[in-house]
Chain A
Amino acid sequence: MAVCVAVIAKENYPLFIKTTPTDNELQFYYTVHTSLDVVEEKISSVGKNVNDLRELYLGLLYPTEDYKVYGYVTNTKVKFVVVVESSNTALRDNEIRTMFKKLHGAYVDMLCNPFYTPGDNIVSRQFENVVLGMMQQD
């Protein structure tokens, strides 16, 4: 389903990146990095519009030729970025939304682990399993 899932800290450094193994994984890192500007823009544009919903889910950040990039930001300014293939038309907005909700849930559970120091790279196996689940099912 998703080809790349990334968690980015409040200070904009990566906490966790998982990609499907391809020959140019680095490209995804680049895509995720580029998307941060769009996330920033979306967050800061809020407030000008009174009727804004201020949802955590940011929607489609930008489409490229082969991929679509979706973003989500928590109240604590941790960003989640998911990259999916453009060819996958079965994925609707709602499914992406539930995917992010699940990822957020897993992140919260992971953060509540007393052995984890906030700001460290995520090495939790449970969290990784959720991410792998997001990337596998079709």
Chain B
Amino acid sequence: MADEVLFEFLHMELVALIHRDAVKDEKDGCIAKLESIGFRVGQSLIERFTKDCSRFKDELDTMKFICKDFWNSVYKKQIDNLRTNHQGVYVLQDNKFRFLTQMSNGKQYMEAAPKYLAFPCGLIRGALSSLGINCIVTAEVSAMPACKFQIQIQRM
């Protein structure tokens, strides 16, 4: 379907636009900006996606929803691996993350990866915060197109 490609292109342009306007050495600001855009989008998306599902039982149930339904709707695939230590840390592993598949698999573009992962991190954080889970989401890439998202839940 064409709309998947459009989303990919739109995201690429979004990243490019924000970095083009930035002055040098302002990389953190760009990442933060992308993350906050992702956050807002995540908030809207989760409201729409959960419109017809029943209420979630617990935290793990919510995470499973993010891994299956949410990921499927956004990236057209499911998370490949979900791990948790049952103490508020969840690791979502995607072996073929959509935004990284178009880059070469070597180490060449490793440095560019973070800016393509800021928006997805915000997306997860926005979705979870709407569902009542406050967390910190970080991404990690060890080998290109695989990607790990670590979700650390903040308890009051």
Chain A residues with a Cβ under 8 A of chain B: 10, 43, 46-47, 53-56, 73-77, 104-105, 107-108, 111-112, 114, 118
- In the complex, chain A residues whose CB is within 8 Å of the CB of B57: 47, 54
Question: Which secondary structure dominates chain B's binding surface?
Answer: loop
- In the complex, chain B residues whose CB is within 8 Å of the CB of A112: 44, 47-48
Instruction: Knowing A111-B44, A111-B47, A112-B44 are in contact, say whether A76-B54 is a contact too (CB < 8 A).
Output: no
Rounded to whole Å, the gap between the CB of A90 and the closest CB of chain B is 27
Find A108's partner among B40, B47, B56, B132 (CB 8 Å cutoff): B47
Q: List 15 A-B contacts (CB under 8 A).
A: A47-B58, A55-B54, A56-B54, A74-B50, A75-B46, A75-B50, A75-B131, A76-B130, A76-B131, A77-B131, A107-B47, A111-B44, A111-B47, A112-B47, A114-B40
Q: How many residues of B are counted as interface, with CB atoms below 8 angstroms from the partner's CB atoms?
A: 17
Residue B55 lies at the interface, judged by CB distance under 8 Å to chain A: yes
B44 touches A56 (CB 8 A): no
Residue on B with the closest CB to A43?
Answer: B55
B50 touches A76 (CB 8 A): yes
A108 touches B43 (CB 8 A): no
Instruction: Knowing A108-B48, A111-B47 are in contact, say whether A56-B131 is a contact too (CB < 8 A).
Output: no
Residue on B with the closest CB to A56?
Answer: B55
Instruction: Knowing A76-B47, A112-B44 are in contact, say whether A54-B131 is a contact too (CB < 8 A).
Output: no
